[in-house]
A and B are shown apart, each in its own frame.
Chain A
């Protein structure tokens, strides 16, 4: 998830500072690593404009400051301008997280007028042909053109690069492009293995040597560019000894609302069996955030088992990612298996070993039916 690279320097004091609005799961691209759920068509009843406005207002009154419009492809919603305008009026810092496919120069101007603060554009390769291959559509040229248009329209911009075995060796030309465009932030996001990415893990996980080579490229670029461009490098957690401090803790600062109104503590949380996910169509957001069983489930540390329960690092990483523990160990109360102290660490090592022998079978993301 794009949000993984971010480091809020502000303690939420129990407020949902970050609201992620997944406007739709519809998308014309077919990225084999897409973090959207595999059963896309189960969420085709999208919230209306008015329902979204109510969600925005309720989250803002709970203290939300940052708002990311994402998806699927958020630009497929015709009411995007209207929602941006409402969010800006409410006092959000509005971010648009997009593949750029449905963007035009005119629309960039309209969104700017509506109050959009910044755009995060995902791009896979400097070479349009490789980009096309990776996303399963002919959009490589358009993405580069739209990156230029975003800067020309005067937006601060994050260039998001989802990094896998298939483009990890081609980071340098992308950094050169970012420099040429005057992009402020580049996020080299090694994939997180949920959703489609998990299904394709053997084909996507880079080798350790590839990751180290990419890190060297990033170090050199940082030294060259200094403070003109900030480069975030999200390392693949599989190669770490400790898990990421996922979402800064469950139900601590992040609140995601899915296209059908399902409220989630993180975008992958549906994978946790037995979690009764609340919906904004049926409950006020305040109850959802403060009291719903799903948001309470892994708050604090009372839910922890050993080795986390008695670990002196539990305030630092909160035991890692609940969804990863669920997906890879079958129990969301286990330590994230990435942790070297986890009795399940072998599932990660096995996955790394298995990815050294990819079979060349890639499952491209399906197209969502939409509303």
Chain B
């Protein structure tokens, strides 16, 4: 499982960017395209070598959310999934 003090960054094989023709952020990689929903894009854009706990704090602040517990669970779940798919890596 991903932990709050893990440091996360996007895998170099994936290109993350805004795509106007899709009106969404996309992940481009060899042989694939993934269209991201807004939440996924918010989280991924912060996977730049930061600690997971800091990403959670930033999101809670940015979206003025009281229920930090819920955000934390969502972020951990998403990052776990993203790591499984190879989109992100955790520093050892």
Contact = CB atoms under 8 A, between A and B. Distances in A.
Contacts of B83: 227
A66 B34 contact: no
Nearest to A65: B33
Contact of B28 (A6, A15, A66): A66
Interface in B18-37: 19, 21-22, 26, 28-35
Contacts of B19: 65, 91
A230 interface: yes
Contacts of A9: 32-35
Given A10-B22, A227-B83, A65 B30 contact: no
Contacts of A117: 15, 28, 30
Contact of A227 (B15, B21, B34, B84): B84
Chain B interface bracket (under 10, 10 to 19, 20 to 34, 35 or more): 10 to 19
B33 A8 contact: yes
B12 interface: yes
A93 B32 CA distance: 10
Among A5, A6, A157, A230, chain B packs the most CB atoms within 10 A around the CB of A230
B49 interface: no
Nearest to B12: A156
A120 B19 CA distance: 24
A239 interface: no
A95 B15 CA distance: 12
B86 A7 contact: no
A195 to B, nearest CB: 21
Interface string A199-233: 00000000000000000000000000001001010
A124 interface: no
Contacts, number: 63
Contacts of A6: 31-32
A307 interface: no
B57 to A, nearest CB: 27
Interface string B31-60: 111110000000000000000000000000
Interface residues of A, number: 28
A185 B31 CA distance: 10
Contacts of B15: 93, 117
Contacts of B31: 3, 5-6, 95, 120, 158, 185, 187, 232
Contacts of B11: 184
Contact of B33 (A5, A66, A120, A157): A66
A123 B22 CA distance: 35
Contacts of A156: 12-13, 29-30
Interface string A107-124: 000000000011010000
B47 to A, nearest CB: 15
Nearest to A11: B35
A8 B86 CA distance: 16
Nearest to B34: A9
A63 interface: yes
Given A9-B35, A156-B12, A184-B13, A120 B21 contact: no
A239 B11 CA distance: 35
A325 interface: no
Interface in A8-50: 8-10, 15, 17
A15 to B, nearest CB: 7
Interface of A: 3, 5-10, 15, 17, 63, 65-66, 91, 93, 95, 117-118, 120, 154, 156-158, 184-185, 187, 227, 230, 232
Given A7-B32, A93-B29, 6 more contacts: A65-B26, A65-B28, A65-B33, A91-B19, A93-B28, A157-B30
6 shortest interchain CB distances as A-B pairs: A156-B13, A93-B28, A6-B31, A63-B21, A118-B30, A10-B35
13 contacts: A5-B31, A9-B34, A9-B35, A10-B35, A65-B28, A95-B31, A117-B30, A118-B30, A120-B31, A156-B30, A158-B30, A185-B30, A227-B84
